[in-house]
Amino acid sequence: MFKLCGTFLLIGGCVGFSYSLCMEKQKRIRLLKEFKYLYSLMQNEMLYTGEAFPGLFLRLSESVAEPLSGMLFRVSEKMTLAQSEGFEEIWQKEAAGVLRDYSLSERQRKIIFDFPAGMNLWECGGQVKSLQRQIEELGNLIAAMEQEEKSKNKVIMSLGIAAGLFLTIILL
């Protein structure tokens, strides 16, 4: 009886661990999709309102989900206070705080951290083009990650089940 219960718990634990690895990948993709959505909203707002960044970020903080909502609010607040830091430094510090909870690759982090570098703060047309480039780059990255995820998730789940069965056989 105890062996049977232990077998189910061991296999369940291995499958659960495999599932958590798959969900971690989904979490990263969701974050990148949120950034893509944010950039798209920014692009539309810039085209139609031409509002400066502090006000734009404050308004957009109400349109996006956490953790980006809080990040945008803090960026807007710091830019409004006219601290000694520039926009790029403020963005990178706040983005680093958000990305701390996600295990993104260096390329994925670079796309998010480089957002302000491509923005010409005084020319709306340049800002919109830069945002379009960011959106396209994130879209390509997300598509590649989703394609990779489909194949890898099957392998991860299969290995989790196989590991559970293997450990059960060894321990019995």
Q: Where are the domains of the chain?
A: 23-171
**pLDDT digits over 130-147, tens only?**
788 888 888 998 998 888
**How far is it, in rounded angstroms, from Cα 24 to Cα 20?**
6
Q: What mean pLDDT is predicted for residues 107-129?
A: 73
Residue 109 confidence (pLDDT) above 80: yes
Residue 51 confidence (pLDDT) above 80: no
Q: What mean pLDDT is predicted for residues 142-153?
A: 87
Closest alpha carbon to 95 in 77, 117, 72? 72
Q: What mean pLDDT is predicted for residues 42-69?
A: 80
Q: Which two structure tokens, joined as six digits, stand for 14?
A: 């291995």
Q: Which residues contact 63 (CB under 8 A, 6 or more apart)?
A: 41
To which residue do tokens 């953790």 refer?
67
Mean pLDDT of the chain: 82
Q: What mean pLDDT is predicted for residues 68-91?
A: 80
At 83, the pLDDT band (50, 70, 90 cuts) reads: low
Region of 17 please: left (phi>0), alpha (psi -120 to 50) or beta.
alpha
The reported pLDDT for the residue numbered 124 is 61
Between these two residues, 54 and 141, which has the higher pLDDT value? Answer: 141
Q: Which residues contact 69 (CB under 8 A, 6 or more apart)?
A: 61, 62
Residue 125 confidence (pLDDT) above 80: no
**How far is it, in rounded angstroms, from Cα 69 to Cα 63?**
8
Q: Which pTM does this prediction carry?
A: 0.80
At 121, the pLDDT band (50, 70, 90 cuts) reads: low
DSSP result, 63-97: TS-TTHHHHHHHHHHHHHTT-SS-HHHHHHHHHHH
3-state secondary structure (DSSP) of residue 64: coil
Give me the count of residues in the chain.
172
108 and 99 in contact (C-beta within 8 Å)?
A: no
Residue 9 confidence (pLDDT) above 60: yes
Helices and strands in the chain: count of H runs, count of E runs? 6, 0
% of the chain residues with pLDDT over 70: 93
